[in-house]
Amino acid sequence: MTPEQLQFDRENIWHPYTSMTNPTPCLPVTSTQGVYLHLSTGEKLIDGMASWWSSIHGYGHPLLNKAAHQQIDTMSHVMFGGLTHEPAIELAKKLTAITPEGLDKVFLSDSGSVAVEVAIKMAFQYWISKGLSEKNRLLTVRNGYHGDTFAAMAVCDPVNGMHDMFSDVLAKHYFAPSPKTKFDQQWDPQDISQLAELLSKHHQHIAALILEPIVQGAGGMRFYSPEYLTQAKRLCEEFNVLLIADEIATGFGRTGKMFACDHASISPDILCLGKALTGGYISLAATLTTTEIANTISDGGAGCFMHGPTFMGNPLACAVANASIDLLLASDWKSQVSSIEQQLKQGLEPARGLSNVADVRCLGAIGVIELKSPVDSVKIQEQFKQQGVWVRPFGKLVYIMPAYIMQPAIVQRLTAAMVEVVANH
């Protein structure tokens, strides 16, 4: 990559969450393999982020490469309106087989945020079709994150999230306090009381409760008790409110279960999937729901579900997703993720004693160091680069979500770098 290309990048390409007047430096990646990023400068970095949590099998896996090559030679894309194809059919079969019971209708889209938009629209159109159009608000919990499109932004944390500047133009919904009981703590029944109170008071106007099961991701990397999820599901049934589970970050084994909902043995009414769906190869997402919801919408006034992305059901993405799911199911992924969890706990434990650290927590293939004050992201990323690792912190959080294939010695290098950089930050 030439200096001229990098200069053009700085001056003309708008990267995620960056300023065009004071752009954050970007590292020039020329290739990837396994758990490594290869830079044009000749350096090789361990990727602790798995491409924003999606590359669960690592980069360049031969089975995923083969699936992509075979499909692109046959059909890279065809519109999904009025047409269908085998990769989408097989993917829907796989998803309905491995997701929580009762989710047997699959809507394919092209990104996680769109999957959330679809879920919200499903919930609203369901109640409209039942003649209850007054159920047009959502309930969620604080510290949540559901995406960057407008319906999704409206259910992100309105104060501590990334979208507070849009508060005057976003739809207004109900927010309960975020769960306080941690994943491994004894359940406090009072933890659910305010959610129950909001449902009791406003259920006539609430279409759905939307939350991230067990792990609140970009809103704070918080891990909460499965009992909260169990009780939330019970309350939704009691007050006739749908439950939307946003598993875009947690789906496909990240928390140690195939889906985070499995920690509580519950099945949501609507489920959102993305990120790891294709093993990080191509953008693809899915929103699953029940037959009852799908039939109610279909028999309503519109006679159909009113949504249809151009690249919905992209054959190339579906083919890679099929290969990724097959690869996951054929592997000993539970042992891999459990082993990574133990390595993360052991490797990050020394950070707990640092004066600038507020907390250290791990769950599945997720390791988090929470600092007492926000990090200087540019400075700390350069320090990580010098350690030979790629970690992208945000706010007070220095965290990793490695690929499941990462070997113990590599995990150890990654955690050691995190502890050293945090200690010197």
Active site residue 372: no
**Of 28, 113, 71, nearest in space to 320 by CA:** 71
Active site residue 404: no
Active site residue 145: yes
**Of 106, 101, 98, nearest in space to 288 by CA:** 106
State how far the Cα of 415 lies from the Cα of 410, in Å rounded to an integer: 9
State how far the Cα of 362 lies from the Cα of 339, in Å rounded to an integer: 12
State how far the Cα of 318 lies from the Cα of 71, in Å rounded to an integer: 9
3-state class (DSSP) for residue 130: coil
Active site residue 275: yes
Q: Residue 155's Cα: distance from chain center in Å?
A: 15
Range list of H helices, 288-332: 291-298, 315-330
Identity at 148, one-letter amino acid code? D
Handedness of CA 281, 289, 258, 394 (dihedral sign): positive
State how far the Cα of 106 lies from the Cα of 85, in Å rounded to an integer: 14
Please tell me which residue in 275, 281, 396, 399 is annotated as part of the active site. Answer: 275
What would the 3-class secondary structure string for 15-69 be? Answer: CCCCCCCCCCCCCCEEEEEECEEEECCCCEEEECCHHHHCCCCCECCHHHHHHHH
Q: What are the tokens at 291?
A: 């037959």
CA angle 378–383–384, rounded 5-degree value: 100
3-state class (DSSP) for residue 272: strand
CB 34 within 8 A of CB 386: no
State how far the Cα of 335 lies from the Cα of 418, in Å rounded to an integer: 24
Please tell me which residue in 126, 145, 399, 404 is annotated as part of the active site. Answer: 145
Please tell me which residue in 110, 157, 191, 246 is annotated as part of the active site. Answer: 246
Q: Over the range 151-187, which residues count as b (16 or more CB within 10 Å of their CB) and which as e?
A: bbbbbbbbeebbbeeeeeebeebbbbebbebebeeee
State how far the Cα of 242 lies from the Cα of 168, in Å rounded to an integer: 26
CB 161 within 8 A of CB 145: yes
Which residue numbers are catalytic? 17, 145, 246, 275
